[in-house]
Structure 1
Amino acid sequence: MDADQPEARYLAGKAALALRRLPEALDHLHRAASAMPRHAAYAVHFARALAATHRTGDALQVANIALGLAPDDPLLLHSLGTTYMQCHAHERAAAAFRQAATLAPDNPACRFSFATSLIFSGDVAQAETELEACLALAPGHWHAHATLSRLRRQTPAHNHVDRLLALAADVDEEPVASMHTHVALSKEYEDLGDFAKAFDQLVIGKSPVKVAIGYTIDRDQAIVDALIQAFPEPRPQPAGHPSAEPIFVMGMPRTGTTLVERILSSHPEVYAAGELENFGVALERLSGANSPVMLSPDVIRRAGSISWETLGEVYIASTRPATCLKPRFIDKLPHNFLYAGFIANALPNARIICLRRQPLDSCLSNFREPFSETSPLHGYSFDLLDTGRYYVLFDRLMAHWKRVLPGRILEVDYETLVATQEASTRQLLEHCGLPWNEACLHFERNQAPSTTASSVQVRAPMHRDAVRRWTKYEEQLKDLRTLLSDAGIDCDR
Structure 2
Amino acid sequence: MQRPFLPALGRFREMRDGGDLPMTPDFKDHPVMARQPYDFTQDAVVFEALRHAFARHLPLTGDGLTDVAPLFVVGLPWTGIGLVERILAAHGMVQGAGGISAMPLAAAKVAGTMAGAVLDIPVIQALGGKSAAVLGRAYLDEAGRSERRIIDTFALNFQYIGWIAQAFPKASIICLQRGAMDSVWGNFRHASDDAPPGWGWARDLMDAARYVLLFQRLMAFWRQRFPSRIHEVSYEFLLSDPEVQSRRMLAFCGLEWDAACTQNAVPMPDDGPIGGWRAYASHLGEVMEFFTANGIPLD
TM-score (norm 1): 0.56
> How far 1:345 moved relative to its partner?
0.6
Correspondence for 1:480:
287
- 8 Å CA contact retained: 1:206, 1:383: no
Give the counterpart letter for 2:279 in structure 1. K
Q: Secondary structure at the match of 1:336?
A: helix
* Counterpart for residue 223 of structure 1: 46
Q: Is the 8 A contact 1:239 1:308 kept in 2?
A: yes
**In 2, distance between residues paired with 1:359 and 1:455?**
18
Structure 2 match to 1:379 = 200
Which structure: larger Rg?
1
| Per-residue deviation, 1:210 | 2.0
Name the structure 2 match of 1:104.
none
More displaced 10-residue stretch of structure 1: 370-379 or 264-273: 370-379
TM-score, structure 2 normalization = 0.90
Instruction: Label 1:393 to 1:415 Cα distance change in 2 as closer, same or farther (>3 A).
Output: same
Equivalent-residue separation in structure 2 for 1:201 and 1:479 (angstroms):
13
Identical-pair percentage: 32
Equivalent of residue 33 in structure 2, options 210, 222, 230: 210
* 1:310 correspondence with 2:134: yes
Runs of 4+ in 1 over 6 A off after TM superposition: none
Partners of 1:182 and 1:205 in 2: how far apart?
A: 13
Distance change in 2, residues 1:316/1:437 (3 Å): same
Pairwise CA distance, 1:432: 0.9
- Cα offsets for 1:15-35 (capped at 9, x unmatched): xxx9xxxxxxxxxxxxxxxxx
Kindly tell me: are residues 262 and 328 of structure 1, through their superposed partners in 2, closer, same or farther at Cα, counting changes over 3 Å? same
State the Cα distance separating 1:247 from its structure 2 match: 0.3
Partner amino acid for 2:79? T
Name whichever of 368-377 and 247-256 sits farther off.
Answer: 368-377
How far did residue 233 of structure 1 move? 3.7
CA distance in 1, matches of 2:58, 2:124: 17
Number of corresponding residues:
298
2:97 matched to which residue of 1? Answer: 273
1:431–1:195: structure 2 CA closer, same or farther, 3 Å change rule? same
Q: Deviations over 1:223-253 (max 9, x none)?
A: 1011011000476996211133310001011
The one of 207, 222, 242 equivalent to 2:66 is 242
Q: 3-state SS of the aligned residue for 2:77?
A: coil
Listed one character per residue, the Cα deviations across residues 249-284 of structure 1 (whole Å, up to 9, x for unaligned) are 010111111100000011111111011111111111
Asked whether the 8 Å contact 2:25–2:283 carries over to 1, the reply is no
User: CA offsets, 1:20-58, max 9 Å, x none?
Assistant: xxxxxxxxxxxxxxxxxxxxxxxxxxxxxxxxxxxxxxx
Structure 1, unpaired ranges of 5+: 1-17, 19-81, 83-141, 147-176, 446-453, 459-464
How far did residue 298 of structure 1 move?
1.1
Give the drift of 1:289.
2.4
SS of residue matched to 2:175: strand
Deviation at 1:457, TM superposition (A): 5.9
Secondary structure of the structure 1 residue equivalent to 2:173: strand
- Could you tell me which residue of structure 1 aligns to residue 181 of structure 2? 360
The residue aligned with 2:82 is 258
1:189 aligns with 2:17: yes
Q: 2:245 aligns with which of 402, 412, 424?
A: 424
In structure 2, runs of 5+ residues without a counterpart are: none
Distance 1:201 1:349 in 2: 49
**Cα distance, 1:475 vs structure 2:** 1.4
- Cα offset, 1:372, TM superposition: 4.2
Report how far residue 288 of structure 1 moved: 1.6
Q: 1:281 to 1:235 in 2, by over 3 A?
A: closer
Partners of 1:398 and 1:261 lie apart in 2 by 20
**More helix per residue: 1 or 2?**
1
Q: Superposed, which structure 2 residues align to 1:44-83 within 5 Å?
A: none
Alignment CA distance shift 1:241-1:440 (3 Å): same
Structure 2 CA distance for aligned equivalents of residues 268 and 288 of structure 1: 37
TM-fit CA distance, 1:393:
0.7
Partner of 1:71: none
Q: Which structure is richer in relative contact order (CA contacts within 8 A, separation 6 or more)?
A: 2
Distance 1:206 1:292, change over 3 A: farther
Letter in 1 for 2:89: S
